[in-house]
A and B are shown apart, each in its own frame.
Chain A
């Protein structure tokens, strides 16, 4: 599209205009798709029609990695360059790309770790790519790799395609919602509280308490939001659920809305997850046509509808308040808390925001009943849990187990152990924001309480495995690059600390550590941990600090 032709843009803006600023990200996505970038006259029109000050339009374009003010080549390809893909050969792949006429973005973890090395070409996810000519059919189309002791959360997954509404209902889907619509909302909340469900997005907050807080809060409107912004390196569980069992997530969201009295919901999906976005959008359309959404949900007097939104390339927008800012059409700066979302959330209104996996648990709890649900897992960590196993194991993939099995069981019995001819060096637990485990931790049970006692964060369920041949300094550098790239820049400890941490690790990885480097790294790390505004900065040094404790010699300088 020549950028002088603004008519297709006007057609889009006409539809979005009534939403005002809240439509800024959708408008910028449309412009980026139409013109391949967002030139000045286009940005000007968007600001004028949506009534957003021009300087702020500029600020929003610049915040999100998927928007660009500069033109790019026709073929844009995103190559994951985080630890697991790097170990599987993404660097070699990148080298061959430089000789072809494509625009290459080195992307943060694309959430395809079980298919490493992974890329996205023109919206298509491709795994196990090898150096060669770039087409949409390079490598393989990733198919979900599932395993585990149970298949409750993943009961409709593993087919390689989305479960349609009719299939979902034939397998007992939406029965939980039908039941819920006959109960008073506080009884639904009581059930969720009794189940002991805690959030699976990383912060492990009790879901029932969160719902109760929002139900009791006063506000002229209330919202529910599904956090599908999954971008923690090593995490791919939410992608698999959204791609293959969209109604399982949607049903959970509708139940949450009924419980707190919300009439509008948002599904916010990571910008790089094209397939999950399309799948969820289709599911919402199916649900609307089937009467599961709309002015009268399944014939009841409860009205609820959902809007599906795309993120635009910012890991920090997984942080709940930054995600609200993104929906509101702003830069994804996390807000100061308190106040918390249950009283002051999206558009300042009481809001429940839950992770995809959390919401998938909801219909399960209501169909199984609390007692059967709690018979899985441990007393303090009831229920099933998804783990994203990647790296140097025989069978990387998504594993569903009851809480309480050991790390050894997950790695050896389920994932087939360390790849042939190698031995375990380290496991990064919980994601880039996690900590390292070693051989001595293998018999720790996978539950919130056991992991906490062992000093390991459960995080988003990441289990990234490294054998003895891997250079941990290189792994740490990649994690540090990720955080430096993703820091929003709002607060000083993280804005500057992620940059300094990366610079020091660059020196260490290159074998040129200074005598002062270990102490500087530790100080920067603790300052970010103690003084940063949001969870990103507070955990940006977590893996580094754990490595400093476990392997001080890695950091020795001259």
Chain B
């Protein structure tokens, strides 16, 4: 085994195996760094940036979910810069999508004092709900673009490649090939995407019908 590296996280001495992420090293030391896009079973792509921390000597903040520990590293997880970025990212997210079924994000908003009304007149992403197959519905007004569904549908799990992205930037959406209805794609209805979706954007059709009062 490689010799562990020594670092400090919030002034606490921490030792971790080389190749450990800052996020995991902190977790083992009892320090919680918040995450949104990160999922233990998906490739981490450092999308949400809620996990950013200050690392001495680094110009920008560093995403803890993908950055590795290094010898002598000094990490701070709750500085003013860090908290400003986290609060602002949460406020921007709340101004963009419907977070009503994302309790973990709502709890973070409370913790960071984020104001959901910070951006008056902000454009929301609000496409119509897609109900095109018997298994699940897709309500992308709740989608935070964490990429988990795309990844589990592709090389993180199922290798079916039924979904990918449409457009880019703020207007990005998850989509099938030329918006074909799900039964006309390579989807095998394994349900893994529904399982990893953190916001209720993907939901079993049965659960959705129950909520709508359309099923007893």
Chain A interfacial positions (CB closer than 8 Å to B)? 40, 43-44, 47, 53-59, 62-63, 69, 314, 331, 336, 484-493, 495-500, 503, 507, 514, 516, 520, 523-524, 526-527, 529-533, 538
Which chain B residues in 168-183 approach chain A with CB under 8 Å?
168-172, 175-178
B166 touches A527 (CB 8 A): no
A496 touches B161 (CB 8 A): no
Is residue B120 within 8 Å, beta carbon to beta carbon, of the partner chain? yes
Of the candidates A69, A487, A491, which one forms a contact with B178 in the assembled complex, judged by CB atoms under 8 Å apart? A69
Of the candidates A55, A62, A503, which one forms a contact with B168 in the assembled complex, judged by CB atoms under 8 Å apart? A62
Q: In angstroms, how far is the closest chain A Cβ from the Cβ of B176? A: 6
| Across-interface contacts of A40 in B (CB, < 8 A) | 177-178
Q: In angstroms, how far is the closest chain B Cβ from the Cβ of A321? A: 13
Of the candidates A58, A331, A488, which one forms a contact with B177 in the assembled complex, judged by CB atoms under 8 Å apart? A58
Cα separation A314 to B118 with both chains bound (whole Å): 30
B60 touches A524 (CB 8 A): no
Cα separation A69 to B170 with both chains bound (whole Å): 19
Mark interface residues in B138-165 (1 if CB within 8 Å of A CB, else 0). Answer: 0000001100000000100000011111
Given contacts A55-B185, A523-B84, contact A500 B119 (CB under 8 A): yes
| Across-interface contacts of A486 in B (CB, < 8 A) | 169
Known pairs A62-B166, A491-B49. 13 more at Cβ < 8 A? A44-B177, A54-B177, A54-B185, A54-B186, A490-B45, A492-B50, A500-B92, A507-B121, A514-B120, A526-B88, A529-B60, A531-B89, A532-B60
| Across-interface contacts of B89 in A (CB, < 8 A) | 492-493, 496, 527, 531
B48 touches A492 (CB 8 A): yes
| Across-interface contacts of A503 in B (CB, < 8 A) | 119, 121-123
CB-based nearest A residue for B49: A531
How many residue pairs link A and B with beta carbons under 8 A? The number is 151
Is residue B47 within 8 Å, beta carbon to beta carbon, of the partner chain? yes
Given contacts A520-B119, A527-B88, A533-B49, contact A336 B164 (CB under 8 A): no
A531 touches B60 (CB 8 A): yes
Cα separation A526 to B89 with both chains bound (whole Å): 11
- Interface SS of chain A: helix
- Interface SS of chain B: loop
- In the A-B complex, the 10 residue pairs with the smallest Cβ-Cβ separation, listed nearest first, are A53-B161, A59-B164, A55-B164, A54-B177, A499-B170, A489-B172, A487-B169, A496-B92, A527-B88, A531-B85
| Across-interface contacts of A44 in B (CB, < 8 A) | 177
Given contacts A43-B177, A53-B154, A531-B52, contact A491 B163 (CB under 8 A): no
Given contacts A489-B172, A493-B85, contact A58 B166 (CB under 8 A): yes
Is residue B77 within 8 Å, beta carbon to beta carbon, of the partner chain? no
Q: Indicate the size class of the contact surface on chain B.
A: 35 or more
Given contacts A500-B95, A530-B61, contact A336 B168 (CB under 8 A): no
Cα separation A314 to B169 with both chains bound (whole Å): 11
| Across-interface contacts of A63 in B (CB, < 8 A) | 165, 168
Q: In angstroms, how far is the closest chain B Cβ from the Cβ of A393? A: 33
Cα separation A195 to B163 with both chains bound (whole Å): 50
Cα separation A55 to B163 with both chains bound (whole Å): 5
30 residue pairs from A and B, CB less than 8 Å apart: A40-B178, A43-B178, A55-B161, A55-B163, A55-B175, A55-B186, A58-B166, A58-B175, A59-B165, A314-B168, A336-B66, A491-B47, A491-B48, A492-B92, A493-B88, A495-B145, A495-B169, A498-B170, A499-B122, A503-B121, A507-B121, A516-B120, A520-B119, A526-B85, A527-B88, A527-B89, A531-B60, A531-B61, A531-B89, A532-B49
Which chain B residues in 47-89 approach chain A with CB under 8 Å?
47-50, 52, 60-61, 63, 66, 81, 84-85, 88-89
A56 touches B164 (CB 8 A): yes
Most-contacted residue by chain B among A492, A507, A514, A533 (CB, 10 A): A492
Given contacts A492-B49, A496-B93, A503-B123, contact A57 B177 (CB under 8 A): yes
Q: In angstroms, how far is the closest chain A Cβ from the Cβ of B109? A: 14
Of the candidates B47, B122, B145, B170, which one forms a contact with A487 in the assembled complex, judged by CB atoms under 8 Å apart? B170
Is residue B46 within 8 Å, beta carbon to beta carbon, of the partner chain? yes
| Across-interface contacts of A57 in B (CB, < 8 A) | 177
Most-contacted residue by chain B among A55, A492, A516, A533 (CB, 10 A): A55
Of the candidates A53, A336, A530, which one forms a contact with B46 in the assembled complex, judged by CB atoms under 8 Å apart? A336
Q: In angstroms, how far is the closest chain B Cβ from the Cβ of A344? A: 14
B175 touches A489 (CB 8 A): no
Is residue B96 within 8 Å, beta carbon to beta carbon, of the partner chain? yes
| Across-interface contacts of A485 in B (CB, < 8 A) | 169
| Across-interface contacts of A523 in B (CB, < 8 A) | 84, 88
A490 touches B47 (CB 8 A): yes
| Across-interface contacts of A529 in B (CB, < 8 A) | 60
Cα separation A55 to B149 with both chains bound (whole Å): 13
Most-contacted residue by chain B among A58, A63, A496 (CB, 10 A): A496
A526 touches B170 (CB 8 A): no
Which chain B residues in 106-147 approach chain A with CB under 8 Å?
118-123, 144-145
A524 touches B88 (CB 8 A): yes
Q: In angstroms, how far is the closest chain A Cβ from the Cβ of B189? A: 15
| Across-interface contacts of B171 in A (CB, < 8 A) | 489
Given contacts A492-B49, A492-B89, A538-B60, contact A484 B170 (CB under 8 A): yes
Cα separation A507 to B122 with both chains bound (whole Å): 11
Cα separation A40 to B49 with both chains bound (whole Å): 36
| Across-interface contacts of B176 in A (CB, < 8 A) | 55, 58
Given contacts A503-B119, A531-B52, contact A524 B85 (CB under 8 A): no
B85 touches A530 (CB 8 A): yes
Cα separation A503 to B92 with both chains bound (whole Å): 12
Q: In angstroms, how far is the closest chain B Cβ from the Cβ of A525? A: 10
| Across-interface contacts of A54 in B (CB, < 8 A) | 161, 177, 185-186
| Across-interface contacts of B167 in A (CB, < 8 A) | 62, 489
A53 touches B48 (CB 8 A): no
Cα separation A520 to B144 with both chains bound (whole Å): 21
Cα separation A58 to B167 with both chains bound (whole Å): 9
| Across-interface contacts of A314 in B (CB, < 8 A) | 168
Of the candidates A43, A488, A493, A531, which one forms a contact with B169 in the assembled complex, judged by CB atoms under 8 Å apart? A488
A495 touches B85 (CB 8 A): no
A499 touches B123 (CB 8 A): yes
Cα separation A526 to B84 with both chains bound (whole Å): 9
Q: In angstroms, how far is the closest chain B Cβ from the Cβ of A482? A: 11
Q: In angstroms, how far is the closest chain B Cβ from the Cβ of A416? A: 38
B170 touches A489 (CB 8 A): yes
B92 touches A497 (CB 8 A): yes
B186 touches A53 (CB 8 A): yes
| Across-interface contacts of B46 in A (CB, < 8 A) | 336, 491, 533
Q: In angstroms, how far is the closest chain A Cβ from the Cβ of B120? A: 7
| Across-interface contacts of A490 in B (CB, < 8 A) | 45, 47
Of the candidates B63, B66, B93, B169, which one forms a contact with A489 in the assembled complex, judged by CB atoms under 8 Å apart? B169
Q: In angstroms, how far is the closest chain B Cβ from the Cβ of A238? A: 24
